[in-house]
Structure 1
């Protein structure tokens, strides 16, 4: 019987009397918490790694885009002392003639973001050089087709209602900007070629060199040698060709040993398919590029058009500067998505999209709030006229909304470029911008007499917002694993030679 008696000293009085089942639940809860913490750490690590990859492209891209945007502004500023007609001439030549062709050629070159990005992800490194040469051929030939816009710039501008003296001076500038026009055919593909290999820092340094040359040449040719409008045009020609030779020199002189193996006759094969993809890319981007240019033209039909144009120009300038950030995310997202899809990593492409959209949106919200806080002060940068200040103040809410939408829309367009959806997005842009947005802007602004706010509001909410919503739905519903398969099939189709020993080689960035 004594063996059946439990003595008090057999019990640890400090040990809590917990049922066995409760103890197991506690250990399971602890394990779950540890798993959650580990998952959170892994997610934070993935976000940090993706952020580093993304900003390796976005950071230099912001800098190079701001520099490129500034070169034309600097030349116009130097030309400002020549007179109102001369300043208007170079501004119109840059905005209307060069701007029209710039958007189309830039869009056509973005086909390389799809092809080079996916080929790089698939480690078909040699094909990047072939794609680059094909793009040079296609864009160079396209430059000849667009040449009449420069040669006949004067009569075209007169038809658009410009005064004869401004149209004649703009036509002179346009003819002297023909070398600039042809530089686009080489510079844009070189930028996309290097960007797809994460070599954006090279583009940034070369852009800085081009900016310094632009400042020096503008000062010499306009102020020192007094070449007037011709000097302003030549300074732009020289500075943009500095970008071409700088990027080309880096590419062929050992900067890209894996992706540049010299000129090849293979570049002349598959040009028709390449042209179709380039054309789709060009239409996709130029429809966006022309949209807000049309906004400014439409404002000229309003009563008190001078004040409306002045206020809208202030808002568009601010929007243009801030837009360099989303456009850099456009480039970064396109490269990251294309690289991951080319490597067959659909989930990684989806994750890159989420990180990019989130970070760009946060930046957009920041600037949106900043505009709302400084709504009655932002115009002081450009004007002290009371009427202009009041007009800009009224438009500040639309400026804030536009900046917010622009923080998302270009990123989603970058996803489309990285995935090769250019043709589909071109149709979406056509429908949203020109079938919905533009008629709604005309209706609100000119028919219902809401003025510039009606025009801009109709185009923003009817065009940009609808397009952003459609692209968001398409991206959310995307089957990323299927897109990875399509990307690999595209790489195999467009590669004229099999993989050699590239799979065992790491790219030195």
Structure 2
């Protein structure tokens, strides 16, 4: 999910605990019932049958349901849906997805491949590439391509999916393939064989995993997400880079404007749009794909309606901020920034809703593709407007506005001409009605995202009372630690998904192994970030500002930021493991205690009471991260993984 360039790094000391609380606020059954109520009303109001492509999709889904077994990983497959309110990415997993087989063809193929791979690793089916002895004549390239194995390798994905969708009738050809040592997996990788073999192996307790396999899975899954998160975070950092070289007052103004825009605007859009994680997924799985487009329309109209009061706040931003911030010039520049942002608000709202429209269809690479275009373009526009055209400070928000409107445009072009258009049934008057289920699901998301913003971005306001130098320093420190966070958090998302899948497939021991591997990688990443910030503490700040006073203060504070990098990575992965276990409420309670009871009081007490300044403000989040890592780590260590499997069975049965 792309992040507006306005959201500076000052949120770098916040944490994803808000998402953990959000995940447990709406129980699975409540979310499902609300979504099913909305779908039922839409179907009842529909006066004409769905188009032919929708009905065909329904047939596909029906056949897909037939493939869902008790021990299948399809039962537990989690789409890595998340939102990213700022430097600290917040993961909000759809509560509807884990307990249903609402998967796209690509997702079902991924589940099947994972089951087949685990069967191979446990020597239950032959390896993919059989060993060939010296006997026999060597085959030529042409004969290889014309062989049964070669023909089978080039079998189309559509044919393979058709077989996976429930075509369980064995053919003469499939009978001949069974046990053939010349074929991949010995010819035993047909959907019917994999289904039966997997269920039998899991029931017999024969499926296990290794740290090598889990390391490979974690790196493969988190790699694209790390790239995506770094790209999206480059959007706000681009503004920090360009404006920071104008002066420290301008740098502080960007920070202040970003905080205001996040709390009053972007967090509102993101929190409300989370309801589509449930509604669109339920609509997609209902067999009437055009209802996904209907839910998108409702959310678009709702967010655009909310945009009116948001724009009024931004319009009078200078007056509001001047009542809070002592530096009048800083308040004036921040208010100017907010006024320009008004032109990008509708586009940003549309992108937030559109993301969930494609995610419901299993299209998770779209975001990365769009960011690969928008991130470099955004950086170029920031530099070009601010320095080449000499527009100065106002050039940065103009670049922001263009980027925010470009994001939904590119998303629309992707859906229209590449993939995802099948769920769009055209504009519908029904989108103006039946908003109640959407609002019921949206309000908890809004409350929790705003709670996280208010808890930690308030420190930006605190820094403004220390002076312009401290505010500029806060902006740089937040950006730096925000960058380092873009590695452990995507890894926690990947670990959470993996653990949830293994738990849902009743594989307690492999899930525990995956958790151990995730924690080891968290330690590695945390130590790497610690060394990076410590060794380059005198070099990194010069990339953000030429002001020697700010550079010196950042260099002095970076060792403190480096010190909690290990706790940061561990706490983040602990939250991911808890999400995979289905124990989000633990992360929520621990987060509330650590950040509200421990972190904020320490920050204000040391920052203002003890006159430690920024050292005090940053001490609170540092200690809070240590508390989170310690408490959640002990809980995970003492967790009964077999009980987690039983809990997952009960949730699936209830759903």
**Does the alignment reach a TM-score above 0.5?**
yes
Contact 1:402 1:460 (C-alpha < 8 Å) held by counterparts: yes
User: Partner of 1:63 in structure 2?
Assistant: 227
Contact 1:310 1:388 (C-alpha < 8 Å) held by counterparts: yes
Contact 1:108 1:279 (C-alpha < 8 Å) held by counterparts: yes
User: Partner of 2:617 in structure 1?
Assistant: 455
Structure showing greater Rg: 1
Alignment of 1:151 with 2:315, yes or no, is yes
Q: CA shift at 1:323, angstroms?
A: 1.2
Cα pair distance change 1:389/1:87, threshold 3 Å: closer
Contact 2:256 2:461 (C-alpha < 8 Å) held by counterparts: no
Give the SS at the match of 1:147. helix
Paired with 2:491 and 2:301, the residues of 1 have a C-alpha distance of 28
Paired with 1:426 and 1:340, the residues of 2 have a C-alpha distance of 23
User: Partner of 2:164 in structure 1?
Assistant: none
Contact 2:607 2:617 (C-alpha < 8 Å) held by counterparts: yes
Q: CA shift at 1:116, angstroms?
A: 7.0
Structure 1 stretch 148-157 or stretch 107-116: which is displaced more?
107-116
Alignment of 1:238 with 2:402, yes or no, is yes
Paired with 2:282 and 2:650, the residues of 1 have a C-alpha distance of 10
Paired with 1:445 and 1:425, the residues of 2 have a C-alpha distance of 27
User: Partner of 2:625 in structure 1?
Assistant: 464
Q: How does 1:335-354 map to 2 (within 5 A)?
A: 335-336=497-498, 353-354=515-516
User: Partner of 1:181 in structure 2?
Assistant: 345
Paired with 1:420 and 1:139, the residues of 2 have a C-alpha distance of 30
Contact 2:247 2:545 (C-alpha < 8 Å) held by counterparts: no
Q: How does 1:292-311 map to 2 (within 5 A)?
A: 292-302=456-466, 305=467, 308-309=470-471, 311=473
Structure 1 stretch 325-334 or stretch 175-184: which is displaced more?
325-334
Structure 1 stretch 200-209 or stretch 275-284: which is displaced more?
275-284
Q: How does 1:247-262 map to 2 (within 5 A)?
A: 247-256=411-420, 260=423, 262=425
Q: Aligned pairs, how many?
A: 449
Structure 2 gap segments, 5+ residues each: 1-120, 128-205
Cα pair distance change 1:337/1:270, threshold 3 Å: farther
Paired with 1:210 and 1:236, the residues of 2 have a C-alpha distance of 11
| Bigger helix fraction | 1
Structure 1 stretch 227-236 or stretch 206-215: which is displaced more?
227-236
Q: How does 1:118-157 map to 2 (within 5 A)?
A: 126=289, 136=300, 139-157=303-321
Paired with 2:267 and 2:453, the residues of 1 have a C-alpha distance of 6
Structure 1 gap segments, 5+ residues each: 1-36, 493-509
Paired with 1:270 and 1:173, the residues of 2 have a C-alpha distance of 37
TM-score, structure 1 length as denominator? 0.69
Paired with 1:221 and 1:381, the residues of 2 have a C-alpha distance of 19
Contact 1:131 1:267 (C-alpha < 8 Å) held by counterparts: yes
- What does the per-residue CA deviation read over 1:105-127, in whole Å, with 9 as the maximum and x for residues that have no partner? 3344455567778999x998958
Q: CA shift at 1:68, angstroms?
A: 2.5
Q: CA shift at 1:238, angstroms?
A: 1.7
User: Partner of 1:160 in structure 2?
Assistant: 324
Contact 1:119 1:125 (C-alpha < 8 Å) held by counterparts: yes
User: Partner of 2:258 in structure 1?
Assistant: 94
Q: CA shift at 1:159, angstroms?
A: 1.2
Cα pair distance change 1:314/1:440, threshold 3 Å: same
Contact 1:206 1:246 (C-alpha < 8 Å) held by counterparts: yes
Structure 1 stretch 95-104 or stretch 193-202: which is displaced more?
193-202
Give the SS at the match of 2:444. helix
Alignment of 1:365 with 2:492, yes or no, is no
User: Partner of 2:372 in structure 1?
Assistant: 208
- What does the per-residue CA deviation read over 1:231-280, in whole Å, with 9 as the maximum and x for residues that have no partner? 5433212212222222233234452478x354678878885454444443
- What does the per-residue CA deviation read over 1:182-219, in whole Å, with 9 as the maximum and x for residues that have no partner? 33323234445555766444322211211243245446
Q: CA shift at 1:438, angstroms?
A: 0.9
- What does the per-residue CA deviation read over 1:266-298, in whole Å, with 9 as the maximum and x for residues that have no partner? 878885454444443444444444444333433
Cα pair distance change 1:79/1:318, threshold 3 Å: closer
Contact 2:248 2:472 (C-alpha < 8 Å) held by counterparts: no
Over the aligned positions, Cα root-mean-square deviation in angstroms equals 4.6
Contact 1:114 1:418 (C-alpha < 8 Å) held by counterparts: no
- What does the per-residue CA deviation read over 1:381-426, in whole Å, with 9 as the maximum and x for residues that have no partner? 5578776666445534421233222213333444566677777755
Cα pair distance change 1:295/1:229, threshold 3 Å: closer
- What does the per-residue CA deviation read over 1:278-322, in whole Å, with 9 as the maximum and x for residues that have no partner? 4434444444444443334334445xx555545544432321111
Paired with 1:46 and 1:396, the residues of 2 have a C-alpha distance of 38
Paired with 2:558 and 2:402, the residues of 1 have a C-alpha distance of 38
Contact 2:385 2:395 (C-alpha < 8 Å) held by counterparts: yes
Between the two structures, name the one with larger relative contact order (CA 8 Å, sep ≥ 6).
2
Structure 1 stretch 411-420 or stretch 399-408: which is displaced more?
411-420
User: Partner of 1:15 in structure 2?
Assistant: none
Give the SS at the match of 2:487. helix
Alignment of 1:406 with 2:547, yes or no, is no
User: Partner of 2:603 in structure 1?
Assistant: 441
Paired with 2:296 and 2:581, the residues of 1 have a C-alpha distance of 18
TM-score, structure 2 length as denominator? 0.56
Cα pair distance change 1:275/1:242, threshold 3 Å: same
